Structure 1
């Protein structure tokens, strides 16, 4: 289980400062480009790869041909594809399809709008884990230090945290505490 920091910031300078602050504590960071690709996937993956991304996101609702193009290009580049399940209606069926299409990660994601009405993705994560055979699992959206233990119980391969770290006064300490909890798993 790994911790991935999401930089949900519009302010580029603020994002750069945040990376500097956290990178000092965690020097071997994996870069996830959250492009949420929907079309022209091979091209988008090649561009993200050239820019230094290790993992690139595509929307789980994208056409199968787009998913195939993303996976093919990522394999060529030695990168990974994360399918973001935001707005997918039939989680189990689409997760199975994405698994067969060769994505590296399938990620349940509670977007801001659903977080605002008290939703989370814990049940969807359990559903995905029950149907996938090859892909790793990930969870994103609204994860905080307080909710992290519940996430850890389900053993996703990747836990993506944004505001749960970036909105804290001591970001480094919060990230370190989360990483410790994940490692104890």
Structure 2
């Protein structure tokens, strides 16, 4: 399993500062959707230039024009981009085509609630995405009855490559690994910590993950 940090901060300067602190302990640096909206796709290139030995994940959450938006992100250095798992199938196929051309990865983000999430996860996997992110957003996590276990149950049942985002912490990351996730995506547990580097290190240790290497990690399977 790989460890991904969501750089859910509002400015590029803050993102670069956070990335510098945690890069020794994470495999993937994710530019959150608000950061990309605020700073533009050039922020993707800035993070990649600063950390060429880390995968850079552009959380575009594309809902239309899949090939065009993915092309824009890949052109400036993104290694992975997201397309909404509930988008039109042709939108997802377009993003997948862009990934094939660029030799990069496309992730279907299942943040939107659907009637049968497992079925949709399986459907989008068949459309050619490299893996599916089973994702509970901040608003969903704020509900008093929220539990990360619902994400893990769907991941186990779907039987396709997946990542988990939504409440991953020191106390839950071992369960994420045991469920078979390829990637654990961590946001607030790192960026809200008094010492983000120590928090990232503790997460890696809690999941019994090997040290981060100097070579670019490999994730996903087309």
TM-score normalised by the chain length of structure 1? 0.91
Bigger drift between 114-123 and 159-168 goes to 114-123
Match of 1:106 among 118, 128, 132: 132
Separation in 2 of the partners of 1:29 and 1:128? 25
State the shift of 1:22 in Å: 1.8
Q: 1:96 aligns with which of 112, 117, 122?
A: 122
Distance 1:64 1:181 in 2: 38
**Structure 1 residues 127, 178: closer, same or farther in 2, change over 3 A?**
same
One of 71, 94, 106 as aligned partner of 1:69: 94
Relative contact order, CA 8 A, sep 6+: which one is greater? 1
The CA deviation at 1:56 is 0.3
| Most deviating of 85-94 and 73-82 | 85-94
Q: 1:147 to 1:95 in 2, by over 3 A?
A: same
Provide Cα deviations, 1:121-152, integer angstroms capped at 9, x if missing partner: 4323332332334xx21010222222223322
1:154 aligns with 2:179: yes
Q: Aligned residues, how many? A: 183
User: Superposition RMSD on alpha carbons, in Å?
Assistant: 1.8
**Matches of 2:135 and 2:95, distance apart in 1:** 20
Instruction: Output the CA distance in 2 between the equivalents of 1:114 and 1:93.
Output: 20
Aligned residue number for residue 132 of structure 1: 159
- State the alpha-carbon separation in 1 of the partners of residues 131 and 111 from structure 2: 14
> What TM-score do the two structures reach when normalised by structure 2?
0.76
Contact 2:109 2:133 in 1 (8 A): yes
Deviates further, 18-27 or 166-175: 18-27
The structure 1 residue matched to 2:149, chosen from 119, 122, 132, is 122
In 1: Cα distance, 2:125 partner to 2:68 partner? 22
Q: Which runs of 5+ in 2 are unaligned?
A: 27-50, 211-222
Provide the residue aligned with 1:9 in structure 2: 9
Distance 1:22 1:184, change over 3 A: closer
CA deviations 1:60-117 (Å, max 9, x no partner) are 1100000000011101101111111112311111011111101111111111111111
Q: Is the 8 A contact 1:33 1:56 kept in 2?
A: yes
